[in-house]
Structure 1
Amino acid sequence: MDKQLSSSEIGNLWMTYQQKTMLARLLEHFLANKQNEEVHNLVQTYYNQEINFINELTALFKQEKIVVPVGYVESDVKPSSKPLYDQYFDALFLRVMMKITIGLNALHISMSYRQDITDLYKRFFDVAQNTYNETTQFLLKDGVLTRPPMIPMPEKVEFVKGEGYMAGFNIFSEKRPLNAIEVSLLYQGIETNVLGFQLLRGFEQVSKDKEVKKYFEKGKDLAKQIIDTFSDTLLKSDIQPPIVAWGNPTLSTESPYSEKLMMYLTNLLSSFGLTSNALGTSFSLRSDLPMKMTLIAKDIFDYAKDGGKLMVKNGWMEEPPQSLKSTK
């Protein structure tokens, strides 16, 4: 018989339940507003698997005698409301969510000790990976998604000669061209923030709470600032930033989602942005890039912190399982 769940396993399962119930509610609105047959089929296939996983998690909580979290429920979505985004947004959004899910599942596998929990996260990982591949290939086929820039094929091995390779922050030193790793990190940062920008434009458009609406506007402006900063860096190395023509909000002012759900998703994407910037800071060797990414990370952190305060103020933040409180 499996041993009692550890604190890390309980915490990760709790987080996973929050994320999966939130995503299920979002997808229910997408499914009720079919705009593209292929996109609808992609979303439906993933949704069916997600509902099965939520049921498994619910059964696991009950089996372990752990209270089932509230997460996100039917009242957090209005499936019959008008589409909030254009026909390709569903696939673009699902693809980015799979990026986040793949990373989280990999992390959760490494934090699991019980074999059944490890196996569960492996299945989560496989479904997310397959869905990411399917949405990527579909969007490429329809010309919605652009591939990252091409660079000349390396013809020989080179080693860094001198500290000039890391120059970038000093205004008197010439910046070297971006290397392939730096281009990839900047490109992915732009791609993700374009989706975030479009998402928050829609949220701002339908939010009925003045304070929440202002928060979404601030997030939209932050995403735009990041896109501009990263795009300018690519252009200065004669590299074309990605151009996205799809994923825009419609004219609808009817909110399909609760303010609680929209705030949670925004907070989740902010956390993902912090992780991405940490990677960029770690793997960029040109000294100006880590500096830019560190400043951006601070802005994202402050934004996420303000969002957390706003969720607590409105009673929208469910409390994770706690360790024993001190009696002192």
Structure 2
Amino acid sequence: MNVKNPISSSEIGTLWLTYQEKTLILRVLEYFIEKSDDQQAINIMGGLWQELDLFVDKIKGIFENEGIAIPKGFTSEDVNLEAPKLYDNGFDIMFIRILKEISMGMYTLNMNMSYREDIMSIYERLTTITHRIYKLSTLYLLNRGILTLPPKVTMPKTTEFIKNTSYLNGFTLFSNERALNAIELGTLHHGIETNNIGKQLITGFAQCADDKEVKQYFVKGKELAKKQIKIFEEILLDAEVQFSATSGSTVTTSTTAPFSQKLMMFCIYLLNGFGIVGSSFGSIFSLRNDLTVKQAIIAKDIYFYTNEGIKIMIKNGWMEEPPQMEDRSKIIKK
């Protein structure tokens, strides 16, 4: 007999977080589909909506069968389909591509914490969907000239090994910094690309936020994204690297919120987590000490900014509490 294991604490946690992320993406897709005038973009987003909606129902079913309270997540109350277009020129697909980057990492972690076959199957299938949508989105953006390629490098003709620890310091005879390697170039380009999208997203959020504290928080996030872009661009300019990682998408002048402040704050919370992971990746695989230090400083800035946002969400009752372990001390005292 195929006996199903009881659901574990880690599986409850990952399914809960997946439910939050997927219901957020569904609401974002609904707004973008409603405002899009490009049939190919509508097809990409519409197909993704249908597939994700099925998995939201699957997670609901698991929670119901296990007697677990279904999270609230994000509902029709969190999206205003009547709001004017807040973003234009391919921003919808650009943002969906960023969300799929986040999903790739989350599914890997979630699979590592899953033990039941049905739950592992969910993350396996979601990973397949994510890879397909990411590929479709990338090709769509490249074909329309919205997305630019990373800088080119001279093709290596021989295999070399690092001969001296000065490679880590970036020291050369005529400069205090060695040339960037391909891994470092890729990380810097990706940092500029994602922060450009994040800056546009949060600019739109700042335009339509009602709460003064939330508006100020979004403005602070916009400045943080600009600071990171400037750091990355200066490194590339100092290395005399020709680069172009700006997107052609734009923010309109609308001040009508398409999403609830709860959804917008949680969206930035997700992106901040992605930003911290990205900075950590960059610091680990960058072999120039100056780059490692700058990536670490960026990660610190994002961490403190994220913590500030969590406090705002808790203060306004927007931070849904994840499933908790039993408080044995409290039970014993009773």
**How high is the TM-score relative to the length of structure 2?**
0.95
* C-alpha contact (below 8 Å) 1:33/1:80 kept by paired residues: no
Aligned to 1:108: 110
SS at match of 2:51: helix
Matches within 5 A, 1:268-283: 268-283=270-285
Instruction: Return the alpha-carbon distance in structure 2 between the equivalents of residues 87 and 293 of structure 1.
Output: 31
Matching of residue 214 in structure 1 with residue 216 in structure 2 = yes
Instruction: Return the alpha-carbon distance in structure 2 between the equivalents of residues 30 and 235 of structure 1.
Output: 36
Instruction: Return the alpha-carbon distance in structure 2 between the equivalents of residues 245 and 135 of structure 1.
Output: 14
The unaligned stretches of length 5 or more in structure 1 are none
Matches within 5 A, 1:9-28: 9-28=11-30
Instruction: Return the alpha-carbon distance in structure 1 between the equivalents of residues 250 and 45 of structure 2.
Output: 18
| 1:118/1:211 CA distance change after superposition, 3 Å | same
Match of 1:53 among 52, 55, 58: 55
Instruction: Return the alpha-carbon distance in structure 2 between the equivalents of residues 64 and 193 of structure 1.
Output: 40
* C-alpha contact (below 8 Å) 2:86/2:254 kept by paired residues: yes
Aligned to 1:190: 192
Instruction: Return the alpha-carbon distance in structure 1 between the equivalents of residues 81 and 107 of structure 2.
Output: 28
Letter in 1 for 2:319: M
Match of 1:149 among 148, 151, 161: 151
The unaligned stretches of length 5 or more in structure 2 are none
SS at match of 2:133: helix
Match of 1:89 among 66, 91, 115: 91
Letter in 2 for 1:10: I
Matches within 5 A, 1:220-239: 220-239=222-241
SS at match of 2:88: coil
Instruction: Return the alpha-carbon distance in structure 2 between the equivalents of residues 82 and 154 of structure 1.
Output: 50
Instruction: Return the alpha-carbon distance in structure 1 between the equivalents of residues 222 and 23 of structure 2.
Output: 25
* C-alpha contact (below 8 Å) 1:167/1:173 kept by paired residues: no
* C-alpha contact (below 8 Å) 2:148/2:247 kept by paired residues: no
Q: Could you tell me how far 1:87 is from its partner in structure 2?
A: 3.1
SS at match of 1:272: helix
Match of 1:42 among 41, 44, 61: 44
Instruction: Return the alpha-carbon distance in structure 2 between the equivalents of residues 9 and 245 of structure 1.
Output: 37
Q: Cα RMSD between the aligned structures?
A: 1.4
* C-alpha contact (below 8 Å) 1:31/1:44 kept by paired residues: yes
Match of 2:305 among 284, 303, 308: 303
Instruction: Return the alpha-carbon distance in structure 2 between the equivalents of residues 245 and 194 of structure 1.
Output: 7
Aligned to 1:287: 289
Letter in 2 for 1:248: T
**How high is the TM-score relative to the length of structure 1?**
0.97
Q: Could you tell me how far 1:280 is from its partner in structure 2?
A: 0.7
Deviations 1:210-258 (A, max 9, x none): 0000000000000000011001111111213334242221111110100
Deviations 1:7-49 (A, max 9, x none): 1100000000000001101111111112222111111111111
* C-alpha contact (below 8 Å) 2:48/2:133 kept by paired residues: yes
Structure 1 runs (4+) deviating above 3 angstroms are none
Instruction: Return the alpha-carbon distance in structure 2 between the equivalents of residues 81 and 38 of structure 1.
Output: 22
Q: Could you tell me how far 1:111 is from its partner in structure 2?
A: 1.2
Aligned length: 327
Match of 1:74 among 73, 76, 82: 76
Letter in 2 for 1:148: P
* C-alpha contact (below 8 Å) 1:8/1:111 kept by paired residues: yes
Aligned to 1:163: 165
* C-alpha contact (below 8 Å) 2:170/2:179 kept by paired residues: no
Instruction: Return the alpha-carbon distance in structure 1 between the equivalents of residues 38 and 160 of structure 2.
Output: 48
Q: Could you tell me how far 1:116 is from its partner in structure 2?
A: 1.0
Instruction: Return the alpha-carbon distance in structure 1 between the equivalents of residues 10 and 171 of structure 2.
Output: 40
